[in-house]
Amino acid sequence: MVNYFSSDFKLGILGGGQLGKMMLYETRKYDIQTLVLDPSEEAPSKISCNYFEQGELMDYNTVLNFGRKANVVTFEIEGVNIEALKQLESEGIKTFPSAATLEKIQNKAVQKKFYLEKSIPTANFEVFEDLQKLKDAVKNNKISLPFVWKSATGGYDGKGVSVIKIIEDLNELSDGECIAERLVPFKNELAVIVARNPSGEMKTYPVVEMEFHPTANQVEYVICPARIDEKVAEKARKLAEKVSEAFGHVGLLAVEMFQTEDDQILINEVAPRPHNSGHYSIEASYTNQFEQHIRAILDLPLGNTESKVGGIMVNLVGAKDHEGEVVYENIEQIMKMDGVTPHIYGKKITRPFRKMGHVTIVDKDISKAREVAEKVKNSIKVISKK
Amino acid sequence: MVNYFSSDFKLGILGGGQLGKMMLYETRKYDIQTLVLDPSEEAPSKISCNYFEQGELMDYNTVLNFGRKANVVTFEIEGVNIEALKQLESEGIKTFPSAATLEKIQNKAVQKKFYLEKSIPTANFEVFEDLQKLKDAVKNNKISLPFVWKSATGGYDGKGVSVIKIIEDLNELSDGECIAERLVPFKNELAVIVARNPSGEMKTYPVVEMEFHPTANQVEYVICPARIDEKVAEKARKLAEKVSEAFGHVGLLAVEMFQTEDDQILINEVAPRPHNSGHYSIEASYTNQFEQHIRAILDLPLGNTESKVGGIMVNLVGAKDHEGEVVYENIEQIMKMDGVTPHIYGKKITRPFRKMGHVTIVDKDISKAREVAEKVKNSIKVISKK
């Protein structure tokens, strides 16, 4: 057993955004020394670590030299240099999730092929080397509309994913390797977070449900527990465990899934890190996802993943037509509501649809929490200073 | 309404110990800029604030110049220079709790006299200018043994309080103004945390109970909710509110009380800040005490003080006969237990009875939490490196 607490042990974190920031609260609780690498001088994590370095996460030498200062390295964003992680591993510095795991996930085309290999159910797809090859396939009727276009790399926060309904939609896409995926008619979009440590201990969080806006194609609420049949939930958790084991994953793996009309579960995609769909856990779970990630990568015993209370998460995204210094309008209104906790990520500038924070709403009665969540959604506005 | 979140607003905190450190997690959640003043270069808070200054908290100029950099000033320890707070207030910098409130609390002799004035029930006492005057009173049988000696100033973590059973015990005491207090036979030692904001909104947390070791005179567990009659609990909360109002207090006020054999409630003493008896709230309450303190002093709406689950807190104090670099023995054992969360304060050196951290145990069933708490207490040891 390594003596992590109040010792010289150092954890390196690649990426210093809001996920890293929330992870850092937990490292402080355990008094673990932390190093953070991020390209932005204004990274939200900067304030809460022991050592901050500004640098590019995809640059081999930057990541290698940074990682050498740590005893264990993890990341809060998938876009990091894998070759540098491999070199660190060969030098005896533990990186969790491992370079081999990340390599199967970072590129979505590789990820999807991996599911086929491992007989993990996923929507049918085809891979294209570049946009022109996809356009040709559509032209020659080898791919029929509508379908989902996904960029193989670089997707984040809804970027890099698009539903192609008409031919003209193809002109809006960026070039590069991509996937055309069958548009699956689904009842629910679900997610399960799996935690796994190097000793092989594994725990899953309850299934959460993404509730979409009735007209706009946008997730409005992440709801835990999902309001679905217990058998379907059990099937989703088992499948998530299978995915985690297939990847040989260590740390947190957020598994996004579709529940089809006939109650099949299909894997959509995974994220090998704390995830937006697990933010509810800070207020609702016995062990929140960030603490769990730290426990997992340090090979500590995993904590209880059950919920104390029902939880709903609402993203705080920048209002459209607002760009500039941020103001959280009516935040005092939502703070009056019982069980409501705002989390502000610390980005000074708001832009349309930029993730600026989130709000968690908890209640023993999930339907009551859902009512409050709607009031929260209708009250708070993320706008720019006049 | 001030725009606190992601703005230029600055909160100054006097004192950078574990209470300040835990308070800082909440300021980060709200993205509020923070300044911390503490005499120690190794203060636990140092890492989590925007600006750290090393300096004496009782020095007029140090506190004044530090405070002038902030928009609102608060403290996590009572031993701060009150004259500097008064000057800051006269310059328009808000200090919460106010200098006037702190002045009534900082000196225990003044605090006890205030209770008499306001007809707040408290144990009988007498004030002595110095130790010699107390010794004379005992010699002349004006004070009868046993009694409780309390230093008027500087008491902290059990220091400055002593039960005097025999004349020889007087020789162990430090000199200075002091109180001799009647030794009250009590059934329970209770505490209630009251939150109050400048607008006068007030909320109380549930009554907690200090469970003592059956033979050693030492608190072993802080239990929420206290296992007492609901009517007694209601009386305790009402009295705590009365005390908060009497002090015109803003922020958190931890009110420590005795429940006598005949179910009277007597005020023992108060602390105008987050308190050890409220640490359970991080895991158990809808709004933890640190978030509540921030809400209160910024005149934001107060959060729900109810509990999601039952909570028990165990202090992690340095084992006797151990001084040096700290090791938390068997911490991985307690992390295997459901609902157990260790908090490590970040002090590198352990000393006998030094507060090094705490552990919270939560469960929907408080008696089950109590069982786990005993296992925690019997497992973990705070020792020095061999």
**Confidence tier at A47 by pLDDT (50, 70, 90):** confident
Q: What is the pLDDT of residue A145?
A: 93
Q: How far apart are CA A97 and CA A82, in angstroms?
A: 11
Q: Write out residues 4-33 of B within 8 Å (CB-CB) of A.
A: 5-6, 21, 25, 28-31
Asked if B300's CB is within 8 angstroms of A344's CB, the reply is: no
Q: How far apart are CA A131 and CA A127, in angstroms?
A: 10
Which of A10, A21, A31, A282 is the mutation pick for testing B, counting most B CBs within 10 A?
A31
Complex ipTM value: 0.93
- Beta-carbon neighbour count of residue B312 at 10 Å? 31
Q: What is the pLDDT of residue B156?
A: 64
Q: What is the pLDDT of residue A158?
A: 62
Asked if B31's CB is within 8 angstroms of A332's CB, the reply is: no
In chain B, the percentage of residues whose pLDDT exceeds 70 is: 98
Q: How far apart are CA B325 and CA A7, in angstroms?
A: 9
Residues B3-49 have pLDDT tens digits of 899 899 999 999 999 999 999 999 999 999 999 999 999 999 998 89
Q: What is the pLDDT of residue A154?
A: 77
- Beta-carbon neighbour count of residue A385 at 10 Å? 11
Q: How far apart are CA B334 and CA B359, in angstroms?
A: 9
- Beta-carbon neighbour count of residue B104 at 10 Å? 22
Residue A150 annotated as binding site: yes
Asked if A48's CB is within 8 angstroms of B336's CB, the reply is: no
Residue A118 per-residue DSSP state: T
Average pLDDT, chain A: 95
Q: What is the pLDDT of residue A273?
A: 97
Q: How far apart are CA A177 and CA A159, in angstroms?
A: 15
Query: Which residues, other chains included, contact A164 with Cβ-Cβ below 8 Å and sequence gap of 6+?
Result: A145, A146, A147, A148, A149, A170, A173, A180
Q: Is B362 on the interface with A (CB under 8 A)?
A: yes
Nearest residue in B to A288, CA atom: B283
Task: Find out whether A42 and A348 touch, Cβ atoms under 8 Å.
Answer: yes
**Which residues on B lie below 8 Å from A335 (Cβ)?**
295, 300-301, 303
**Confidence tier at B103 by pLDDT (50, 70, 90):** very high
Least-confidence region, from A144-153, A199-208, A301-310, B232-241: A144-153
Q: What is the mean pLDDT of residues A33-46?
A: 95
Least-confidence region, from A148-157, B201-210, B377-386: A148-157
Q: What is the pLDDT of residue A15?
A: 98
Q: How many CA atoms lie less than 13 Å away from A199 in the CB half-sphere?
A: 10
Given A336, A345, A347, which is nearest B301 (Cβ)? A336
Distance from CA of B155 to the nearest CA of A (A): 27
Helix (H) or strand (E) holding A327: strand A324-329
B155, pLDDT greater than 80:
no
Asked if B346's CB is within 8 angstroms of A28's CB, the reply is: yes
Q: What is the mean pLDDT of residues B299-313?
A: 98
Q: Is A157 on the interface with B (CB under 8 A)?
A: no
Strand pairing category for A10-14 and B324-329: unpaired
Delimit the CATH 3.30.470.20 region(s) of chain A: 186-384
Residues B314-368 have pLDDT tens digits of 999 999 999 999 999 999 999 999 999 999 999 999 999 899 999 999 999 999 9
| E strands present in A115-170 | 125-128, 147-151, 161-164
A295, pLDDT greater than 70:
yes
**Which residues on B lie below 8 Å from A348 (Cβ)?**
6
Cα four-point dihedral sign A1, B352, B362, B275: negative
Residue A190 annotated as binding site: no
Query: Which residues, other chains included, contact A349 with Cβ-Cβ below 8 Å and sequence gap of 6+?
Result: A323, A324, A325, A326
Delimit the CATH 3.40.50.20 region(s) of chain B: 10-95
A283, pLDDT greater than 90:
yes
Given B6, B331, B344, which is nearest A344 (Cβ)? B6
Rg (CA), chain A: 21
A217, pLDDT greater than 90:
no
First-last CA distance in chain A: 55
Query: Which CATH number is A10-95 given?
Result: 3.40.50.20
Distance from CA of A366 to the nearest CA of B (A): 13
> Assign residue B340 a region: left if phi > 0, alpha if psi is -120 to 50, beta otherwise?
beta
Q: How many CA atoms lie less than 13 Å away from B156 in the CB half-sphere?
A: 10
Find how far residue A78's CA is from the centre of its chain.
9
Given B6, B347, B356, which is nearest A348 (Cβ)? B6
Q: What is the pLDDT of residue A212?
A: 86
First-last CA distance in chain B: 55
Amino acid at B353: F
Nearest to A310 by CA among A215, A207, A239: A207
Q: How far apart are CA B219 and CA A155, in angstroms?
A: 54
Q: How far apart are CA A128 and CA A72, in angstroms?
A: 36
Our CA dihedral for B248, B249, B253, B256, rounded to 10 degrees, sits at -20
Q: Write out residues 301-340 of A within 8 Å (CB-CB) of B.
A: 301, 303-304, 308-309, 326-328, 331-332, 335-336, 338-339
Amino acid at B107: N
Nearest to B26 by CA among B262, B366, B278, B272: B278
Residue A172 or residue B282, greater confidence: B282
Task: Find out whether B74 and B43 touch, Cβ atoms under 8 Å.
Answer: no
Task: Find out whether B359 and B330 touch, Cβ atoms under 8 Å.
Answer: no
A288, pLDDT greater than 70:
yes
Express the helix, strand and coil content of chain B in percent, nearest 5 each. Answer: 30, 30, 40
- Beta-carbon neighbour count of residue B213 at 10 Å? 11
When the candidates are 3.90.1300.10, 3.30.1490.20, 3.40.190.10, 3.40.50.10360, the CATH number that belongs to B124-182 is: 3.30.1490.20
A139, pLDDT greater than 70:
yes
Q: What is the mean pLDDT of residues B254-273?
A: 96
Q: How many CA atoms lie less than 13 Å away from B363 in the CB half-sphere?
A: 15
**Confidence tier at B1 by pLDDT (50, 70, 90):** low
Given B28, B336, B344, which is nearest A29 (Cβ)? B344
Q: Is A35 on the interface with B (CB under 8 A)?
A: no
Q: What is the pLDDT of residue A28?
A: 93
A218, pLDDT greater than 90:
no
Q: What is the pLDDT of residue B158?
A: 62
Asked if B346's CB is within 8 angstroms of A6's CB, the reply is: yes
Task: Find out whether B354 and B318 touch, Cβ atoms under 8 Å.
Answer: yes
A46-to-A22, A41, A63, B28, B291 alpha-carbon distances in Å: 12, 8, 17, 11, 21
Cα four-point dihedral sign A40, A46, A49, A54: positive
**Confidence tier at A156 by pLDDT (50, 70, 90):** low
Q: What is the pLDDT of residue A170?
A: 93
Looking at beta carbons, which pairs linking A59-67 to residues 24 or more positions away fall under 8 Å? A60/A84, A60/A87, A62/A37, A63/A14, A63/A37, A63/A88, A64/A88, A66/A12, A66/A14, A66/A35, A66/A37, A67/A12, A67/A14, A67/A93, A67/A95
Q: What is the topology classification, in CATH, of domain B186-384?
A: D-amino Acid Aminotransferase; Chain A, domain 1 (3.30.470)
Given A6, A29, A287, which is nearest B347 (Cβ)? A6
Give one DSSP letter per residue of A282-321, joined into a string: HHHBSS-HHHHHHHHHTTPPPPP--BSSEEEEEEEEPPTT
Q: How far apart are CA B68 and CA B87, in angstroms?
A: 10
Tokens of B130: 């110095």
**Which residues on B lie below 8 Å from A362 (Cβ)?**
286, 308
Residues A91-131 have pLDDT tens digits of 999 999 999 999 999 999 999 999 999 999 999 999 999 99
In chain A, the percentage of residues whose pLDDT exceeds 90 is: 92
Residues A328-357 have pLDDT tens digits of 999 999 999 999 999 999 999 999 989 999
Helix A289-297 crosses helix A18-29 at what angle (to 10 degrees)? Answer: 70
Delimit the CATH 3.30.1490.20 region(s) of chain B: 124-182
**Confidence tier at B157 by pLDDT (50, 70, 90):** low
B217, pLDDT greater than 80:
no
Given A25, A50, A287, which is nearest B28 (Cβ)? A25
